């Protein structure tokens, strides 16, 4: 194995580990809500607000710091971000009121946002074209394995034995190891034009690309699906169906474990058959998960329900395609992190920020089952967006071959045909 391939595998392993831990820290509050909500007498709307506060700060920082990393380097921004995120996750354990929780989680979003755009840009820059989808999918799927599969089981079990505060500390400490690994082993990518910096006008010109607009709308749908499902499914299962929190953790863990496998298989498959058909399939399948929870009879057979949600959760594959691969293949190479950050900004600001409090308010008025319908509707939005996407190099051909004229040119000459 040559040095470049060995480093590629090392980078993917480190970023897989790091992104999984970041998502563990982010999602832990959703699975621990049944434990800390009674202590602070929180309403459904307030639980949604906690998620939305983190989403809006995450949205702003992923775009801002992603753009800064395009200009000043990836590691310069990534290392402080992961360190701050891990420390703040531990500090959540010391909150004694709703407003303290809100403040700490909002700061966590500010620290965590850059990790998404910078890590995915690092993978894009370090992967050959025929493995780009596979590598992106593998790292993004860590969110499913650690944040959606392990997190609900780990956090609820720790909370059941030692309390929810200990669970937040457990979620935060491993991130410090990730900081050390990035510092020691990750290289700063080499660019063809290291001293040539895009102008701010060129950044604004990203909006000329139709796919960027469509990906922004698709990101809203994905974020709505993700947060409506993961914020309110634990509450729906425990409060409406009167099932134990550990069963909710088990089912969501099974769903997340399925998302892990499909999260790297589907983007890898899209390297061969194109982005669009795979995205259509992922969007259609992801709606099955919230709809399955709406069938109370299935809870009589928890293992069968676990198999269904395991096989249907294509969420992380959907995220890789709509928020990373299609945007970066639609703009010049020097704007990769910025395109990811822009799409994430819109998705988080609308889907991640507005959906949780809106769903919480509607749940208080019409019942928690409505939140599962909202999650399914988010998948439908992604499906409709996928139908309208223009082909990128990776969507048109088997491999995601980079368009040579989009290597490093002004945006005015890199518009879609």
Domain CATH for 406: 1.20.1250.20
Q: What is the rounded radius of gyration, in angstroms, for the C-alpha atoms of the chain?
A: 20
pTM: 0.74
> Helix, strand or coil for residue 48?
helix
**Considering the domain boundaries, does residue 191 fall inside one?**
no
Query: Which residues are within 8 A (CB) of 139 and not within 5 positions of it... i.e. 6 or more apart?
Result: 12, 15, 16, 19, 119, 120, 123
Q: Find the range with the poorest average confidence among 2-6, 11-15, 272-276.
A: 2-6
- Give the whole-number percent of the chain exceeding pLDDT 70: 88
Cα(168)–Cα(164) distance, integer angstroms = 7
Straight-line distance from the first to the last Cα atom of the chain, in angstroms, rounded to the nearest whole number: 39
**Considering the domain boundaries, does residue 199 fall inside one?**
no
pLDDT tens figures, 90-147: 999 999 989 999 999 999 999 998 888 888 888 878 888 778 778 888 888 887 788 7
Domain containing residue 136: 3-186+206-413
As a whole number, the mean pLDDT across the chain is 82
- pLDDT band, very low/low/confident/very high, at 196 (cuts 50, 70, 90): low
**Considering the domain boundaries, does residue 306 fall inside one?**
yes
pLDDT at 212 over 50: yes
Q: What's the gap between Cα 325 and its chain centre? A: 13
pLDDT tens figures, 326-376: 988 887 767 777 788 888 888 888 887 788 888 888 888 888 899 999 999
- pLDDT band, very low/low/confident/very high, at 181 (cuts 50, 70, 90): very high
CB 50 within 8 A of CB 101: yes
Q: Find the range with the poorest average confidence among 10-19, 166-175, 185-194.
A: 185-194
pLDDT tens figures, 296-326: 888 889 899 999 999 999 988 898 899 888 9
For residue 397, give the nearest of 293, 301, 263, 273 by alpha carbon: 273
CB 21 within 8 A of CB 108: no
The tokens 């009121």 sit on which residue? 97
pLDDT at 84 over 80: yes
Q: Find the range with the poorest average confidence among 198-212, 266-280, 368-382, 399-413.
A: 399-413
pLDDT at 290 over 90: yes
Helix or strand holding residue 363 (H, E): helix 353-366
Residue 21 or residue 133, greater confidence: 21
CB 81 within 8 A of CB 112: yes
Interhelix angle 74-91/44-72, rounded to 10 degrees, is 160
**Considering the domain boundaries, does residue 196 fall inside one?**
no
The tokens 């959606």 sit on which residue? 148
**Considering the domain boundaries, does residue 15 fall inside one?**
yes
Query: Which residues are within 8 A (CB) of 266 and not within 5 positions of it... i.e. 6 or more apart?
Result: 137, 278, 281, 282, 314, 317, 318, 320, 321
Cα(93)–Cα(112) distance, integer angstroms = 18
**Considering the domain boundaries, does residue 213 fall inside one?**
yes
* DSSP state letter for 173: T
Q: What is the pLDDT of residue 197?
A: 58
**Considering the domain boundaries, does residue 200 fall inside one?**
no
The total domain count for the chain is: 1
**Considering the domain boundaries, does residue 194 fall inside one?**
no
**Structural tokens at position 36:** 């800390």
């Amino acid at each position: 194995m040559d040095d470049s391939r060995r480093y590629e595998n090392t980078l993917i392993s480190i970023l897989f580990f790091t992104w999984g831990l970041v998502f563990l820290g982010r999602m832990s509050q959703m699975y621990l809500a049944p434990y800390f909500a009674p202590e602070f007498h929180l309403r459904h709307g307030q639980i949604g607000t906690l998620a939305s506060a983190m989403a809006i700060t995450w949205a702003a920082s992923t775009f801002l710091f992603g753009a800064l990393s395009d200009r000043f380097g990836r590691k310069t921004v990534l290392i402080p971000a992961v360190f701050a995120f891990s420390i703040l996750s531990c500090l959540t354990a010391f909150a004694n009121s709703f407003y303290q929780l809100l403040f700490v989680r909002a700061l966590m979003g500010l620290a965590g946002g850059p990790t998404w755009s910078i890590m995915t840009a690092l993978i894009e820059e370090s992967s050959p074209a025929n493995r780009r989808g596979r590598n992106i999918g593998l790292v993004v799927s860590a969110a499913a394995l650690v944040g959606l599969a392990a997190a609900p089981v780990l956090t609820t079990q720790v909370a059941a034995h030692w309390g929810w505060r200990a669970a937040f500390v457990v979620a935060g400490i491993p991130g410090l190891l990730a900081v050390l690994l990035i510092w020691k082993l990750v290289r700063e990518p080499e660019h063809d034009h290291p001293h040539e910096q895009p102008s701010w006008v060129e950044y604004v010109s990203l909006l000329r690309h139709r796919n960027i607009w469509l990906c922004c709308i698709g990101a809203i749908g994905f974020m709505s699906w993700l947060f409506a499902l993961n914020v309110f499914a634990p509450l729906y299962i425990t409060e409406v169906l009167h099932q134990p929190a550990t069963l909710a953790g088990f089912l969501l863990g099974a769903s997340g474990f399925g998302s892990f496998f499909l999260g790297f298989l589907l983007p890898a498959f899209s390297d061969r058959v194109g982005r669009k058909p795979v995205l259509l399939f992922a969007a259609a399948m992801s709606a099955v998960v919230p709809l399955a929870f709406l069938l109370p009879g299935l809870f009589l057979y928890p293992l069968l329900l676990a198999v269904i949600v395991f096989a249907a959760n294509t969420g992380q594959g959907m995220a890789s395609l709509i928020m990373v691969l299609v945007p970066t293949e639609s703009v010049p190479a020097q704007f990769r992190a910025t395109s990811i950050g822009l799409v994430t900004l819109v998705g988080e600001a609308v889907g991640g920020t507005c959906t949780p409090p809106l769903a919480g308010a509607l749940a208080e008025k019409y019942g928690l089952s409505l939140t599962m319908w909202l999650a399914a509707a988010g998948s439908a939005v992604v499906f409709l967006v996928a139908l309208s996407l223009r082909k990128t190099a990776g969507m048109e051909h088997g491999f995601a071959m980079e368009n040579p004229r989009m290597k490093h040119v002004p945006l005015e000459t890199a518009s879609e045909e």
